[in-house]
Every structure is written in C-alpha cells, then in structure tokens.
C-alpha cells in the first residue's frame, strides 16, 4: 500500500509504512511517545531532489507527530567537505520550508565523545589497532561466500591498543599507517561485520575542528552514534544502509547507549538525470553544466533557479510517497507538480519567441489602443493589466501559414483570427524577401472587435498572442531540455560512462519580444508566457538585460500518459 500512488490526482495519500511503524511505536508508549528525526547530509556537495524527498520525509514526519527534526551535518571526512556546502544545505532546507530551530548539529561536535566510544570498545577487547594497509585489509576481507582472513594484529593487548590509538591521535603516524578496527567476526556472512575500520589517520584540517584532529571516525562509526547522542528515535535512511544495520546495532549494544530505530526506504531515482553527488560534482568540475545551480541540474538550487517552487517539490515528495523497493520515477511527474502550482500562481504575459512582423494596414499610424488583459484566470485577485496595441505587431512565426492545411485555425491569407485581448484581424497580403521568406504579413483589423469579441457575434476559430512591435521589450530567453538523452544514464553500456548520454542540445539561447509589463520582473519571479510555457527571471537579470529561464512548456505529458492508460 505504500507504493503505487503516483497518480497526481490522488491528494490523500494513504499512510506510508514508516508512519505505520511510528504509530505502532506511539501506541506502545515507547520513549514517552517522543518522535525525533533528523536530516543528516554530508556537506560534500549540493542537495538534490532525492535529498528533498528525505528532507520532506524527516521534517514532515516530525511535524505530523508533534516531534522535532534536527539538521545534522555528518562531517567526518575533511578531505571532501567544505563550508560552501554547509551554507548551501542550510539555504536549501530553509527554502523548502523547514525549520530546525536551534538544532543544527555536526558529527564533528561529537568527535571527543566518539573517541571515548572507541576507547570503550578497546577496553572491552572489541577494537584493535591494525597496521595492515588499506589494500591488505581489503584483500583479507574475503567475499560474501568466502570467510576473510584475521589480521595478525587482531590479538594485540588492550594496553597496546590504548597506547597505539592514543599515539595515532597525537599525530605520530602518517596517513594510512594504522587504523582502528572493530573486532567482530571475519567469517560473518555480512561483510560489514568483518572487523570494519572505525578510525583512520588523515592529516587534513577539518572545516570546523581545524587541526585539532588527525584521526577521523568512519561514517559508520559516527552516524549511528550521532543519532544516539541526539536521542533520535527514528533514524530514517535509504535502503543501502539496511546491510549496515547489524553493525550499527552492534555498536549501540557494545557501547550501551540510546538505541534509535533505523528504518530504511527506497531512494528516489528520476528518469533522465543522475543523482549521485560524485557525478554531479564531476559535471560541475568538467563544466558540462554552468555550476551546481545550472537550471538543468537536479539540485535544489538548480530547480529553484529553473523556476520550481518549494510547494511543488513538497507536493511531489508527498505524491511519490515512500517505498521499500527501489523504483524509478518519471520526471514528467515532477514537471506535472510544478505546472499545477505555476498554473495557480504565475502572472500571465504575452511573449513572442519567434517573431514575425504583422502590419495592420487600416490602423492609424500613431494611434495606440489600450486593452485589458487578465493577469491570471485562475486567481481573480491578481487583477488586470493594460496591454498596448499599435500598427506594427509581432506574432509567432508558427502562427502564420501561407498555404495552410485544412484544420489550421491560426492566421493565413483571407482568414480572420482573434488577437488575444485585442481585435479580430484578417490577413490581406504577405511580403517576402529575395529568398522567398515571409518577412511581413499585412492585415486589416475590425475596430468593432476591441477586447476580442464582435458585436455581430461573428465567430473566429483561432486566438493567437502578439506584442506591439514598438512597445515590446527584447529579452534573452534560455530554453532548457533534459540533461540526458537516456532514461537511465546510470545504466551504462560497455565502453561508455554516464556522460556519454549527455544531451548536447540541452540549452538554447534565443531572443524574445515581451509586452512592457515584463519590465517589472524581479529575479526569481515566475510568468506564464501565454500559449508557450512557464518562465522565471534568472539571477543574471539586470535592469537593461532581462533574462528568462524556461521552467517548462505548457504541455503536460504526465496527464496525457495518464489519460492514455485509462
């Protein structure tokens, strides 16, 4: 019941399996019914839409059960982490609409405590310092069907281990020279239980602890303990940690500390994109995209710049729900969510992206007519605006055909169409250049049809948008397409890598003509260009150079698919 609710129509999602577990926990009065979750990113990259799912789940669960949700940075690897990432993560979680109050924590704040935990394991004879190299440790690990080989250092005395571990801390050894390992079972069918490494030596400054430490706990030795220290009741994480759970439970048991309940769910995979931070970082570094916030990226900052709203992403997370098995979500569903939201909110304007000049022969040369246009038919409160009409206009090239097929309802010789909010016009003539291309369309207008209807109830079949040539503002428009040509770019054929599937045509920059109202656009503001799509003012916008990102077109392939399936 927790999967298969990907229909956008279905607003009321049945309670998911994680919430079922939490409700049973509340019924059993465990921990005084407290519900405490956390979102635990590693600050080694920007957050993406998959993280958004985890954020919505962790913060949303806490909200639903009157609990709390912490923001905790799992910053155990100084070599890959940076404050730039910390700052971006804080910004993105906030933007999504969640608040962690004063509960912003860092695994690095617990380094001393985690060190004490390691000492405790050593004292119990459950951890030892090992001199094998990383390669030797990996070779000796065995395979799932073949037991590993015990380290020759496994039986060092507690005192030796305490002293060596202390010397590791004080910086006597070089990177990789020694590690601290748990002493569990080299024959365990679970590879994670085969004496995993707990601490390694890294002589690198940490973005928070500076040069205080040169030994750092492994993620597996920090994550569960950090949850425990924060008294997290439900450690919600993705499926790949299911096999780590016995190890986390072992640590909790041996250390005799508070035991969070770990619950795994399937990570979000989206079609036509990649979601691994490593791969996203690679695309940024190799400049296949223009930074982490490139509007083609699946990052939260990329989606924001593209014109996505927090509401649309939260709604998406709710609709996809949580599943116990890996699945792939059609990106068209995410697009459906933003269309639905922008349809309700976006200011309408008329914009012409592929202009063709129209001259109204019977319109007085210097006359300017003003007509009323509706700002958003979905929201009366957004009111109306004036649009200016003059003798020379632009329409879309696609809205005129000299020799149209039968069911073409737009402008063609002898045909009359309605100009949105303005007048009926009829094409009387076309002017071509030497190449035979149409450069001007001459029309007449009917002054009686101001506002878009005729007193004699004469019908026209088409309505097209337009802008007044002398009033229109020329702007830069960035048209985005999918970043990858393959539905699952992670599924690579031999001899290729995920970048082989990059869409080389994913960004087109054009010029557009937009009605003067657009001058008021502020960075981040969203518009529906009538009949074309949703657009958002880019951060590179200046007063004299307006730049718009196409969020997406109006066509909704998700609902079309849905209809087809019915």
Instruction: Pick the piece of the chain touching ligand ATP (CB under 6 A) from 46-54, 247-255, 311-319, 405-413.
Output: 46-54
| The pair of three-digit structure tokens given for residue 459, joined into one six-digit string | 């019908």
Active site residue 136: no
CA dist., res. 400 & res. 403, Å (int): 9
Task: Rule CB under 6 A: say whether 327 interacts with ligand ATP.
Answer: no
Between 8 and 43, name the residue whose CB sits nearer to ligand ATP.
43
Q: Give the residue at shortest CB distance from ligand ATP.
A: 50
Q: Name the active-site residue from 33, 267, 279, 397.
A: 267
Between 127 and 283, name the residue whose CB sits nearer to ligand ATP.
283
Between 42 and 416, name the residue whose CB sits nearer to ligand ATP.
42
Between 73 and 400, name the residue whose CB sits nearer to ligand ATP.
73
State the nearest-atom distance from the C-beta of 51 to ligand ATP, in Å. Answer: 5
State the nearest-atom distance from the C-beta of 178 to ligand ATP, in Å. Answer: 27
Between 46 and 199, name the residue whose CB sits nearer to ligand ATP.
46
Task: Rule CB under 6 A: say whether 307 interacts with ligand ATP.
Answer: no
**CA-CA-CA-CA torsion for 458, 461, 465, 468, nearest 10 degrees?**
-40
Task: Rule CB under 6 A: say whether 76 interacts with ligand ATP.
Answer: no
State the nearest-atom distance from the C-beta of 241 to ligand ATP, in Å. Answer: 7
In a 3-state reduction of DSSP, which class is residue 70? Answer: strand
In a 3-state reduction of DSSP, which class is residue 451? Answer: coil
Task: Rule CB under 6 A: say whether 7 interacts with ligand ATP.
Answer: no
State the nearest-atom distance from the C-beta of 298 to ligand ATP, in Å. Answer: 9
Considering CB under 6 A, how many residues would be counted as binding ligand ATP? Answer: 15
Kindly write down the DSSP assignment for every residue of 103-168, as one continuous string.
Answer: -EEEGGGGHHHHHHHHHHHHHTT-EEEE---HHHHHHTT-BTTB--PPPTTTT--HHHHHHHHHHH
Chain residues 123-182 in contact with ligand ATP, contact rule CB under 6 A: none
Active site residue 318: no
Instruction: Pick the piece of the chain touching ligand ATP (CB under 6 A) from 51-59, 96-104, 510-518, 522-530.
Output: 51-59
Q: Name the active-site residue from 38, 42, 81, 385.
A: 42
Q: How many residues does the chain have?
A: 566
Q: Which of 150, 147, 70, 75 is nearest to 108 (CA)?
A: 75
* 112 contacts: CB under 8 Å, gap ≥ 6: none
Site string for ligand ATP, 260-299 (x = CB under 6 A): -------xx------xxxx---------------------
Active site residue 420: no
Q: Which of 295, 106, 341, 300 is nearest to 217 (CA)?
A: 106
Task: Rule CB under 6 A: say whether 238 interacts with ligand ATP.
Answer: yes
| Contact (CB, 8 A) for 355 and 70 | no
3-state helix, strand, coil in the chain (%, to 5): 30, 25, 45
Question: What is the phi/psi pair of residue 284, to 5°?
Answer: -70, -50
Task: Rule CB under 6 A: say whether 512 interacts with ligand ATP.
Answer: no
Q: Which of 259, 256, 257 is nearest to 245 (CA)?
A: 259
Task: Rule CB under 6 A: say whether 234 interacts with ligand ATP.
Answer: no
Q: Name the active-site residue from 38, 194, 277, 526.
A: 277
Options 19, 36, 53, 178; binder of ligand ATP; rule CB under 6 A? 53
State the nearest-atom distance from the C-beta of 79 to ligand ATP, in Å. Answer: 14
Instruction: Pick the piece of the chain touching ligand ATP (CB under 6 A) from 38-46, 360-368, 377-385, 509-517.
Output: 38-46
Q: Which of 356, 488, 367 is nearest to 432 (CA)?
A: 356
| The pair of three-digit structure tokens given for residue 252, joined into one six-digit string | 């909790």
Between 207 and 410, name the residue whose CB sits nearer to ligand ATP.
207
Kindly write down the DSSP assignment for every residue of 499-553, as one continuous string.
Answer: GGGB-TTSEEEEEEEE-GGGGG--TT-EEEETTTEEEEE-TT-BTTB-EEEEEEE
CA dist., res. 449 & res. 447, Å (int): 5
- Per-residue CA distances from 78 to 81, 133, 215, 216, 515 (Å): 5, 20, 10, 8, 51
Between 114 and 472, name the residue whose CB sits nearer to ligand ATP.
114
State the nearest-atom distance from the C-beta of 347 to ligand ATP, in Å. Answer: 33
- Per-residue CA distances from 387 to 145, 373, 402, 447, 495 (Å): 74, 7, 28, 16, 56
Options 16, 35, 41, 111; binder of ligand ATP; rule CB under 6 A? 41
**CA-CA-CA-CA torsion for 147, 149, 151, 156, nearest 10 degrees?**
70
Options 35, 232, 237, 300; binder of ligand ATP; rule CB under 6 A? 237
| The pair of three-digit structure tokens given for residue 460, joined into one six-digit string | 């026209």
Task: Rule CB under 6 A: say whether 50 interacts with ligand ATP.
Answer: yes
Between 268 and 337, name the residue whose CB sits nearer to ligand ATP.
268
Residue in the block written with tokens 């019914």: 33
| The pair of three-digit structure tokens given for residue 221, joined into one six-digit string | 């030795």
Options 2, 8, 16, 51; binder of ligand ATP; rule CB under 6 A? 51
Extended beta strands in 24-123, E state: 36-39, 68-73, 104-106
Site string for ligand ATP, 188-227 (x = CB under 6 A): ----------------------------------------
Instruction: Pick the piece of the chain touching ligand ATP (CB under 6 A) from 34-42, 182-190, 198-206, 407-415.
Output: 34-42
Largest CA distance in the chain: 102
Task: Rule CB under 6 A: say whether 54 interacts with ligand ATP.
Answer: yes
Give the footprint of ligand ATP on this chain (CB under 6 A).
40-42, 50-51, 53-54, 237-238, 267-268, 275-278
- Return the active site residues: 42, 267, 277
């Amino acid at each position: 019941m927790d999967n298969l609710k990907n229909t956008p129509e279905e607003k009321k999602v049945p309670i998911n399996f994680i919430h079922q577990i939490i409700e049973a926990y509340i019924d059993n009065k465990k921990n005084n019914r407290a519900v405490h979750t956390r979102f635990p990113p590693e600050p080694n990259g920007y957050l993406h839409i998959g993280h958004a799912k985890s954020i919505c789940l962790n913060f949303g669960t806490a909200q639903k059960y009157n609990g709390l949700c912490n923001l905790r940075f799992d910053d155990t690897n100084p070599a890959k982490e940076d404050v730039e990432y910390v700052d971006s993560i804080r910004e993105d979680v906030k933007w999504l609409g969640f608040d962690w109050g004063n509960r912003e924590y860092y695994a690095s704040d617990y380094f001393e405590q985690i060190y004490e935990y390691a000492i405790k394991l050593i004292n119990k004879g459950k951890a030892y310092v090992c001199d094998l190299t990383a390669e030797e440790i990996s070779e000796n690990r065995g395979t799932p069907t073949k037991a590993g080989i015990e380290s020759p250092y496994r039986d060092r005395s507690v005192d030796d281990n305490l002293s060596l571990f202390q010397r590791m801390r004080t910086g006597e050894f070089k990177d990789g020279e020694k590690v601290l390992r748990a002493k569990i079972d080299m024959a365990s069918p679970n590879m994670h239980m085969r004496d995993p490494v707990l601490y390694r030596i890294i002589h690198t400054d940490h973005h928070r602890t500076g040069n205080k430490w040169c030994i750092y706990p492994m993620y597996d030795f920090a994550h569960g303990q950090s949850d425990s220290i924060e008294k997290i009741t439900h450690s919600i994480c993705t499926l790949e940690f299911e096999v780590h759970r016995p190890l986390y439970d072992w640590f909790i048991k041996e250390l005799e500390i508070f035991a969070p309940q770990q619950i795994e769910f399937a990570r979000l995979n989206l079609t036509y994109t990649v979601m691994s931070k490593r791969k996203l970082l690679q695309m940024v570094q190799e400049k296949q995209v223009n930074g982490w916030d490139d509007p083609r990226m699946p990052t939260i900052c990329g989606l924001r710049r593209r014109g996505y709203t927090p509401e649309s992403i939260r709604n998406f997370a709710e609709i996809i729900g949580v599943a116990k098995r890996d699945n792939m979500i059609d990106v068209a569903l995410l697009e459906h969510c933003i269309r639905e939201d922008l349809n309700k909110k976006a200011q309408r304007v008329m914009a012409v992206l592929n202009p063709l000049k129209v001259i109204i022969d019977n319109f007085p040369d210097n006359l300017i007519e003003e007509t009323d246009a509706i700002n958003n038919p979905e929201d009366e409160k957004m009111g109306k605006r004036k649009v200016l009409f003059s003798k020379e206009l632009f329409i879309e090239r696609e809205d005129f055909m000299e020799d149209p097929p039968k069911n073409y309802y737009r402008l063609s010789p002898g045909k009359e169409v309605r100009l949105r909010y303005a007048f009926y016009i009829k094409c009387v003539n076309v002017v071509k250049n030497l190449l035979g291309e149409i450069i001007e369309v001459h029309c007449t207008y009917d002054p009686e049809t101001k506002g878009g209807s005729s007193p004699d109830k004469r019908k026209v079949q088409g309505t097209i948008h337009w802008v007044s040539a002398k009033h229109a503002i020329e702007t830069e428009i960035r048209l985005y397409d999918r970043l990858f040509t393959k539905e699952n770019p992670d599924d690579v054929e031999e001899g290729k890598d995920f970048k082989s599937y990059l869409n080389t045509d994913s960004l087109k920059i054009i010029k557009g003509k937009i009605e003067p109202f657009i001058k008021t656009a502020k960075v981040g503001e969203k518009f529906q260009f009538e009949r074309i799509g949703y657009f958002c003012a880019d951060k590179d916008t200046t007063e004299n150079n307006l730049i718009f990102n196409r969020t997406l077109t109006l066509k909704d392939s998700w609902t079309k698919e849905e209809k087809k399936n019915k």
